[in-house]
Each structure stands twice: as C-alpha cells, then as structure tokens.
Structure 1
Amino acid sequence: MINSASTEVGIGGQAHESFQKLPTSEISSSITFAVLIYTNVFFSLAYFLGNLSIIIEKLTSLQFASNLQLVILLPCYIIWCLGELARFYFAYIGNLKERVPQMSAFLLMTIFPQLPCVIYLGFYQEFIYPFDGSTGAVMLVILIVELFFGYLTLHTLIQRQTAQFYRLCQEEEDEQRSKILS
C-alpha cells in the first residue's frame, strides 16, 4: 500500500519516497551572534573614524610627557583595526559556515589583541577625551557580549559535530557487522 503523503511519482511513473527520507541537517549557527557581529561592523566603523580623527588631533596638537605613550598609541590603534577586520572574517565564516577553527580564532582574537587594545585606547592613554571613554566602554561591552555568544555558538558547533562523528562511526560499525553476519 502506498501512502500518498510520503511518496511521489517520478519520471516514468516510478514511485519513490519523498522528502521524508532526505537527510536533514540541523543548523547550528546563531542568529543572535550574526546580528551582534553585523551591528558591531557599523559601530566599529564609527569607532574607527572617531578614534582616527582624535588620534590625529592628539598627535598634532598635544605634547606627550612620555615618549612611550606616543610610541604605543598609533601601533595599538593599527593593531585594533587589523584585528577587527580579521575578527569579522572569522566570525562570519565560523558562524554561518559552521567551522570550529574559525570560531576559535574569533574568540582568541577577541581576547587578545582586541580587549587590551580597546582598554588602552579607551581608558589608559595619556590624554583621554570623553569620546575615548564613552566609545571605549561601549566597545568593551560589545566585545564581552560577543565573547559570550561566540562561546555559546562554538559550544553548539562542537556538540553537533561530535554527535555527527559519533553517528557516522556507529553507522560504519553497523555496516561492518551486517557484512560479517551475512
């Protein structure tokens, strides 16, 4: 007896089971994490432009008491810029394409160099403007929230891929047993 809900008639009148037998895969990527990264792209652009203008103004009009502060400021900003671009790439690939190494790279790059650079640029420079402190605090909160949701996404990806690997191993063992028994 053919159940019309679970079969379709194919070319040449042959019946075959429909979508119910197709392998389904659960999506492990996090929409919350994706929206957070998307939002951070725009905030980082504003942070980049604002800090660039302030750093140029500081370097041209202010006299630094310590040469160390002068030497650290610009490289820290450049490291933040390059790190942010790499973080966005790793977050996008790791989350949407569900790749564990890229998600791990995103988390590591968030911890270092991004957190120390944002903390320095926002709170430990020799001359701190109100813009530095306020945008630094917002960026710090965003980075911490990204760390939290990135960790949850990575944990979900690892659990899912471990379950798939275990299921694949079980299927191979079952096939080998059936060959031995037959």
Structure 2
Amino acid sequence: MALQTPLPPNLRRGLTTFSGSLFVNNKTGDAGAAQVYHPGHAVLSSLPLQMMLYFNAFYFPFWCLSEGIMLQLKFSLLPAYNQFLLLSAYLTITLAEVLRLYLGYIGNLQEKVPELAGFLLLSLMIEVPTVLFILADMYTLRLPLETAVNLLLLLFLVAEIAAAFRALKHMSKQLAMQFYLKQFEEGVGQTPGDGHKGQWVWGS
C-alpha cells in the first residue's frame, strides 16, 4: 500500500515547479548530451539513497539517546541562553529528521518529485546548518561522544544530499519527458474542434 504524503497540494506543486526549473529548464549541465526517451518505465529510485536512509533510520534513535545523555550531564553547567539554544537545536533536528526520513522514503521508493525535493530542502536548509551550529559552538561544552555522533549524522546528511540530488535530477527529467510525450500524443489525436480539452498539467 502506498504511503500517504504529509505535504499539502499547493506545496507539492511548488516543489515540483522548483525541481523542474532547477533540473529541466537548466540546459548548461547537459549541453551536447543526447536525450533519448524510452517509453517503458525505468526504475528511477536510487539504491544508494535508500540504503543510506535505511541505516540513518536505525542510527537516529542512537543519536537521540546519546544527545539526551550528554545534555543531561552538562545542562546545569550551561548559561541560560546556551541551554535555550541547545534545546532548540536538538528539538529542531529531531522534528526535521522524522519528517525528512519519511519524505525521503516516499520520494525515493514511490518516485515522487515533490517529496524528494522537500527531503533535499529540509536537509540543506534546516538540518545541515543546525548540526554545524552544534559542532562549531565552543560555549556548549561539547563532549567527545556528542562530537562523534554529530559528525556521523553530518556524514549521513552530506551523502544523502548528494544521492538525492542525483535521483531528483533523473526523476525531474523523466517527468518532463512524460509531459512532452503526453502533449504530443494529445496534439496528434486532437480534432480541430476539441480546443483545450484533456490538457495535462506537468507534475500532476
């Protein structure tokens, strides 16, 4: 049974448009490359990305446990503003990671462009900066275990971003090809009196 996406329709359309403008409309990266479309459905899911998401899902509870222990050990030694910043950072990572892994699973396994784009944006704009803040802040009394688990989480993030970027590029191009093929088929089979009946919107 297909997993349900938590993204609202307007956000899904926006993420699809963003992916199309980033990968499909940008011709500089693929100049000179032959564009061949195969009518049969090719598997676009990324095996490396799925493997990293799988191991990340098992690693995340260990990260939560380690950070909880480290926070309990040093919380009373931190100033009030550092306590607030650290709690906010951990809460942000926890909430974002749950949603990020879920969107990654849906987007990759079901080949959904909006969900995979949301996964990529969450990784780049929320999790990576927050993890870097925890690693770079010298006033939070970083402990060796805390540094190790956050470095490993950062390694997961960087690898998943690279794999998701590549998978999203292939999915966006495949979706664009399907769109152009659909428009061509409708244009060939349309009679002069049909008008705009039966239009198909890219990304729907």
Q: Same fold (TM over 0.5)?
A: yes
1:61-117: CA deviation from partner (whole Å, max 9, x where unpaired): x422x3221111111101110100000111011111111111111011001221122
Between structures 1 and 2, the one with greater helix share:
1
Would you say the 8 A contact 2:86–2:140 is kept in 1? no
Match of 1:39 among 50, 55, 73: 55
The 3-state SS of whatever aligns with 1:28 is coil
Q: What is the TM-score with the length of structure 2 in the denominator? A: 0.70
- Count of residues in correspondence between the two structures: 155
In structure 2, C-alpha distance between the alignment counterparts of 1:144 and 1:179, rounded to whole Å: 53
In structure 2, C-alpha distance between the alignment counterparts of 1:75 and 1:165, rounded to whole Å: 43
In structure 1, C-alpha distance between the alignment counterparts of 2:81 and 2:60, rounded to whole Å: 26
The 3-state SS of whatever aligns with 1:153 is helix
Where do residues 45-124 of structure 1 align in structure 2 (5 Å cutoff)? 45-59=61-75, 62-64=76-78, 66-124=79-137
In structure 2, C-alpha distance between the alignment counterparts of 1:48 and 1:126, rounded to whole Å: 17
Give the equivalent residue in structure 2 for 1:155: 169
Give the equivalent residue in structure 1 for 2:188: 174
Match of 2:151 among 137, 149, 153: 137
Q: Does 1:164 align with 2:178?
A: yes
Q: Which amino acid aligns with 1:30?
A: S
Q: Which amino acid aligns with 2:106?
A: I
1:108-136: CA deviation from partner (whole Å, max 9, x where unpaired): 10012211221223332520101111221
Larger Rg: 1
Q: Which amino acid aligns with 2:51?
A: V
Identity %: 25
In structure 2, C-alpha distance between the alignment counterparts of 1:48 and 1:40, rounded to whole Å: 12
Q: What is the TM-score with the length of structure 1 in the denominator? A: 0.78
Where do residues 2-13 of structure 1 align in structure 2 (5 Å cutoff)? none
Would you say the 8 A contact 1:84–1:114 is kept in 2? yes
